[in-house]
A and B are shown apart, each in its own frame.
Chain A
Amino acid sequence: GQNIDQPTEMTATEGAIVQINCTYQTSGFNGLFWYQQHAGEAPTFLSYNVLDGLEEKGRFSSFLSRSKGYSYLLLKELQMKDSASYLCAVRSLRGRRALTFGSGTRLQVQP
């Protein structure tokens, strides 16, 4: 089976940097995804890591360490609109493209 852990809630200040961690256990790892979900809306794709290292995309970066079963999402220059839930999801070789999601981290950005 698969197990994904991430913090339930985080609070940060506008303009700051926040790091959301995710640890996972899975057999046959085949990629880690981060999705953003605003309240009442669909999850939207943010980033994808399949190899170790950092992937940067504008204000958002995602890091993966396969040996440690660990990833983080880094959000820079926080804006109020970044207040949302951030979902960590893992794809396994057995999963045939389906993703297993963590429970999500609800981020609140304060002025």
Chain B
Amino acid sequence: EAGVAQSPRYKIIEKRQSVAFWCNPISGHATLYWYQQILGQGPKLLIQFQNNGVVDDSQLPKDRFSAERLKGVDSTLKIQPAKLEDSAVYLCASSPLTGGTGANVLTFGAGSRLTVL
């Protein structure tokens, strides 16, 4: 099966500019996650969707970050305006809704590396 697709792979912007990242999960996966991974740290959850509804966005800096999954398939994460500390890799992951251990396994995309200058 095709994996989780993300674009762009790399993006360099100046602070106060805006940026958007796109994610297409594995076909049939109801749950989609956006994680932020700063260099040398583990991934940190930003937002979790189930179908097109938000399950958890408690760690999303809502003054500058927004995310949507309008049709319950692909998703977009936006940052506006960007700050220097937003430099990180933005990882998208998906998982199925049901089914034993498989339901618990998150499959990650290759990530979008953001550099804010």
Contact = CB atoms under 8 A, between A and B. Distances in A.
Interface of A: 4, 31, 33, 41-45, 48, 87, 89, 91, 95-104
Interface string B45-59: 100101000011000
B104 to A, nearest CB: 6
B interface bracket (residues with beta carbon within 8 Å of A) = 20 to 34
16 contacts: A4-B42, A33-B105, A41-B110, A42-B4, A43-B108, A45-B106, A45-B107, A87-B42, A95-B56, A96-B55, A97-B31, A97-B106, A99-B45, A100-B45, A103-B40, A103-B41
Contacts of A91: 104
B109 A42 contact: yes
A94 to B, nearest CB: 9
A98 B45 contact: yes
Contact of B91 (A42, A100, A102): A42
B75 interface: no
A98 B107 contact: no
Given A43-B108, A98-B33, A98-B45, 15 more contacts: A31-B104, A41-B110, A45-B107, A48-B101, A48-B104, A87-B42, A96-B48, A96-B55, A97-B48, A98-B55, A99-B106, A101-B42, A103-B41, A104-B41, A104-B42
